[in-house]
């Protein structure tokens, strides 16, 4: 019993240190998100040539709005081309896209057991296009359910030219929906992350995170990599980590937005976050050794190393919390000495204040600064309910995702609830807040 007690108390100590490090770093980052001004580049006339790829698996219900949005972009039509990738579709995605005047690339898997998913479709599309690096400067990727601000290509073009042609640029990640506890948490977490994580890192000269949609990558870098070579279910995290380890720059653009549909059900959220966890753990475990080698050989500065390392293992906070809770409960059983560890009143008060600041304070502040939405008392119950729901989703998905981290071959699609509106014109951010 004494040996078991020492082991559990050791787990509590190590876990406490790890969570403290993560917390301090996150609190440090937030300091750089308070300044309102978000534009650090000058306007440039349209010059960059864009290739836009939209992977779509059975998306006939939503693809129409995406196509109309792309056709209405405020950018010279001769400087961008977009392709809908009809990826193993069994519905009318390709037919709907063609009827609306879109270019369509049809991708079918080689056999019933062949790997599927977004990375496979992107790889096949670039191979089919062949000379993309000679014809285009930047590749932008969107999901079929997305909508984007019509100034996106102009803003990315200006930042790209003004900032010395960085290798990747990630745009602000907005939400098409926020009704219900599950979707609300996605909305709150992305709202906070956009300003107090992404923008904050950008202001420190650190690479921001790649979010899976609404980002640009230079075709020259892609060609140098050998095309689309990602092997995980989270191609965005994988390419972010690999680009950083290669010494590439990833900038953040806070001035133009892509809007993504968020899951509304507990089950859909668990499936999506489990897929994210599988890919995230795969990338972390595969790249940790290289990350340390790049640091020790002087190819990666220390600040970037800390940023990438803590991001790669950010999901561990759920698992560490679960282990610490189990150890605490076990130590309360009869037979253990000094099992009940009393926490000081000061520590409890400090913990509550940090929670109020990081969850409530930062959200309401960023929602006001970026979306013009002021604090409303009626949202507090939803904040609490969504927090509890997400803790349950996060715990389940991280445990399952870690257990399945080696399995990266089959993509699990998140079904969409918002159908194509058939409305003319692009998205207006002010109509997407309901």
Kindly state the greatest CA–CA separation across the chain: 76
> What pLDDT score does 343 carry?
58
Positive or negative: CA dihedral 37, 39, 41, 42: negative
Query: Digits of tens for pLDDT over the chain (434 positions)?
Result: 778 888 888 888 898 899 999 999 999 999 999 999 999 999 999 999 999 999 999 999 999 999 999 999 999 999 999 999 999 999 999 999 999 999 999 998 777 667 778 888 999 999 999 899 999 999 999 999 999 999 999 999 999 999 999 999 999 999 999 999 999 999 999 999 999 999 999 999 999 999 989 999 999 999 999 999 998 989 999 999 999 999 999 999 999 999 999 999 999 999 999 999 999 999 999 999 999 999 999 999 999 999 999 999 998 998 998 888 888 888 887 777 654 455 566 777 787 888 899 999 999 999 999 999 999 999 999 999 999 988 889 889 999 999 999 888 777 777 776 766 543 334 444 334 33
Domain boundaries, the chain: 1-49+137-407
Question: What is the structure's pLDDT at 421?
Answer: 59
The CA distances from residue 167 to 118, 156, 207, 309, in Å, are 21, 12, 11, 21
Q: Decide: residue 379, CB within 10 A, 0-12 exposed, 13-18 middle, 19+ buried.
A: middle
- Give the tokens for residue 42: 């000058």
Mapping DSSP to helix (H, G, I), strand (E, B) and coil, where does residue 214 land? coil
Q: Which tokens belong to 316? A: 């561990």
How confident is the model over 160-209, as pLDDT tens digits?
A: 999 999 999 999 999 999 999 999 999 999 999 999 999 999 999 999 99
Residues contacting 20, CB < 8 A, separation 6+: none
The pLDDT, as a whole number, for residue 425 is 36
Sheet hosting strand 147-148, strand order edge to edge: 103-107, 80-87, 50-56, 138-141, 215-218, 168-175, 250-260, 147-148
Q: Could you write out the three-class secondary structure of 216-275?
A: EEEHHHHHHHCCCCCCCCCHHHHHHHHHHHCCCCEEEEEEEEEEECCCCCHHHHHHHHHH
Asked if 8 and 327 touch (Cβ cutoff 8 Å), the reply is yes
Cα–Cα distance measured from residue 222 to residue 235, given in angstroms and rounded to the nearest whole number: 13
- Phi/psi of residue 301, nearest 5 degrees: -70, 155
Rg (CA), the chain: 23
What is the spatial distance between Cα 192 and Cα 386, in angstroms, rounded to a whole number?
Answer: 15
User: By the 8 A CB rule, do 170 and 198 touch?
Assistant: yes
On whether the CB atoms of residues 118 and 98 are closer than 8 A, the answer is no
Residue 326 makes CB contacts below 8 A (sequence gap 6+) with none
Residue 9: its pLDDT value, please?
85
Q: 293: which 2 tokens?
A: 């080698």
In 88-239, where do the E strands start and end?
A: 103-107, 138-141, 147-148, 168-175, 215-218
Q: CA–CA distance from 419 to each of 61, 431, 434 (Å)?
A: 5, 15, 15
| Alpha carbons 330 and 328: distance in angstroms, whole number | 5
What pTM was computed for the model? 0.91
- How far apart CA 104 and CA 84 sit, in angstroms, is 5
């Amino acid at each position: 019993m004494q040996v078991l007690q020492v082991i559990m108390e050791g787990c509590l100590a190590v876990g406490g240190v790890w969570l403290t490090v993560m917390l301090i770093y996150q609190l440090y980052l937030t300091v750089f998100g308070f300044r309102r001004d978000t534009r650090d580049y000058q306007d440039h006339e349209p010059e960059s040539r864009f290739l836009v790829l939209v992977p779509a698996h059975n998306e006939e219900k939503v693809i129409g709005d995406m196509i109309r949005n792309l056709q209405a972009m405020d950018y010279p039509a001769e400087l961008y081309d977009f392709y809908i990738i009809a990826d193993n579709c069994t519905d009318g995605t390709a037919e709907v896209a063609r009827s609306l005047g879109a270019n369509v690339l049809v991708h079918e898997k080689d056999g019933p057991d062949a790997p599927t998913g977004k990375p496979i479709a992107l790889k096949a599309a670039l191979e089919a296009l062949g000379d993309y690096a000679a014809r285009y400067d930047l590749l932008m990727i969107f999901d079929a359910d997305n909508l984007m601000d019509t100034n996106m290509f102009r803003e990315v073009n200006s930042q790209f030219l003004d900032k010395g042609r960085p290798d990747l640029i990630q745009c602000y990640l907005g939400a098409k929906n926020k009704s219900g506890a599950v979707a609300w948490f996605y909305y709150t977490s992305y709202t906070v992350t956009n300003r107090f994580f992404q923008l904050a890192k950008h202001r420190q000269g650190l690479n921001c995170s790649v979010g899976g949609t609404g980002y640009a990558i230079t075709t020259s870098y892609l060609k140098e990599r050998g095309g689309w070579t990602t092997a995980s279910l989270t191609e965005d995290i994988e390419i972010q980590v690999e680009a950083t380890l290669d010494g590439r720059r990833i900038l953040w653009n806070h001035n133009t937005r892509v809007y993504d549909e968020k899951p509304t059900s507990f089950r859909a959220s668990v499936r999506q976050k489990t897929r994210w966890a599988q890919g995230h753990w795969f990338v972390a475990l595969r790249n940790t050794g290289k990350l340390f080698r790049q640091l020790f050989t002087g190819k990666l500065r220390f600040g970037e190393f800390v940023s990438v390392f803590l991001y790669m293992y950010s999901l561990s906070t759920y698992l560490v919390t679960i282990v610490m809770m189990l150890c605490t409960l076990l130590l309360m059983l009869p037979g253990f000495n000094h099992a009940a560890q009393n926490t000081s009143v000061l520590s409890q008060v400090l913990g509550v204040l940090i929670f109020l600041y990081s969850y409530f304070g930062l959200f309401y502040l960023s929602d006001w600064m970026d979306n013009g939405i002021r604090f409303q008392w009626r949202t507090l119950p939803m904040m609490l309910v969504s927090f509890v729901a997400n803790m349950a989703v996060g715990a389940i998905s991280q445990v399952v995702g870690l257990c399945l981290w080696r399995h990266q071959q089959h993509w699990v699609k998140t079904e969409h609830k918002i159908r194509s509106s058939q409305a003319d014109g692009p998205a207006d951010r002010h109509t997407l807040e309901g």
